[in-house]
Amino acid sequence: MTTESFADSMRRLASAQKGRAKGAPGYSVYVNRPVGRVFAAIAHRLGMTPNGVSAVSAVFTFSGILVLALVEPAWWTGILVWLLLAIGYALDSADGQVARLRGGGSLAGEWLDHFIDSIKIVTLPIATAVAIFRFTDLPDAYLLVPLGFAIVATATFFGMILNDLLKSSKGIRSAADAGGGSSLRSLILLPVDYGIVCLVYVLWGWASVFAVAYAFFFAAAAAFCLLAAVRWFRAMTRLSSVSPDGR
C-alpha cells in the first residue's frame, strides 16, 4: 500500500487529467471519468498497478457479458448486467489514472487496455444476440441488429485506433492529447457513448422494450460510423501530403 492518502491522490488526479478528446461523449467525460478517478485513488491507495486495475476491469465487464448470455432475463438480471458493465467501464478509465499517479504508463499497459477493449466491444453485442436467441420470442431477423452492432462497434474502434496511429506517424497529437471540444457535441454524441449503451440493459427484463431501445442505439452507432468514416478518410487524404514533422 502507498503512504499517500486518498484525498491527496484525488487532488493530484484532478490537476493531472489528460485532455478531453474533441467532442467526447458526455457520459464518458462527465460520469465515467470522475467515477474512474475515485476508483483510481482507491486502487493507488491499495498499491495496485495499472495492469492490475485493467484485469479487475475485465473481470467485471466479462462477468456482465456472461450473465447476459447465460442467465434467463428478469428485471434484476438487467440491472446486474448494467452494474457490472458500468463498473468495468469506470475501472477501464481508472487504469490510466493510476498510471499517472505512479509517474506514467507503459506501452505494454496501453496495449493491454486496448486489447481488452477490442474484445469487449465485439463480445457484448454477440452475447446480446445469443441471449435474444435463447431467451426471447423476438423474430430471428432481429438477430441482425446485435450482429450488425458487433460489426459497427469493431469498425468504429479500429478506425479511431488507426487514426491515432497514422497521425502519430506524422507527428500529430491525438485528439485526446489536444483536448478541446464542445459540451453540446458531447451531449449530442450520448447515443453512441458506450456507457449509455450499457444502460439500455436495464430494460433487458422486458424484451420488446429492450428491442426498440437497442435498435435505436444500433442505428445511432451505424450513422456515426458512416459519417465518421467519411470524415476520417478525408483527414487521412489530407495527411498523405503532410511531412513527418507535421508541417
Q: What is the CATH number of the domain that holds 144?
A: 1.20.120.1760
Distance of CA 155 to the CA centre of its chain: 14
Nearest to 197 by CA among 179, 222, 174, 230: 222
pLDDT score, position 21: 57
Rounded to whole angstroms, how far apart are CA atoms 106 and 165?
16
**Is 225 a member of any domain?**
yes
Domain assignment present for 172: yes
In a domain, 64, yes or no: yes
Return the C-alpha cell found at 18. 489528460
CA angle 53, 8, 16 (to 5 degrees): 70
**Residue tagged 449503451 (cell numbers):** 197
Domain-located, residue 182:
yes
**Does 1 fall in a domain?**
no
**Does residue 169 lie in a domain region?**
yes
Tell me whether residue 136 is exposed, middle or buried, using C-beta atoms within 10 angstroms of its C-beta: 0 to 12, 13 to 18, 19 or more: middle
| 72 domain residue, yes or no | yes
Judged against a pLDDT cut of 90, whether residue 141 lies above it is answered with: yes
pLDDT band at residue 179 using 50, 70 and 90 as cut-offs? low
Structure confidence by residue, pLDDT tens digits, 13-37: 776 665 555 557 888 888 999 999 9
The three-class DSSP label of residue 154 is helix
Three-state DSSP at 171 gives: coil
109-120 tens-digit pLDDT:
999 999 999 999
Reported pTM: 0.88
| pLDDT of 79 over the 70 cut | yes
Instruction: Give the angle 157-159-164 at the CA atoms, nearest 5°.
Output: 100
Residue 245 forms part of a structural domain: no
Residues shown for the chain: 247
Q: What total number of domains does the chain contain?
A: 1
Q: Which domain holds residue 112?
A: 6-239
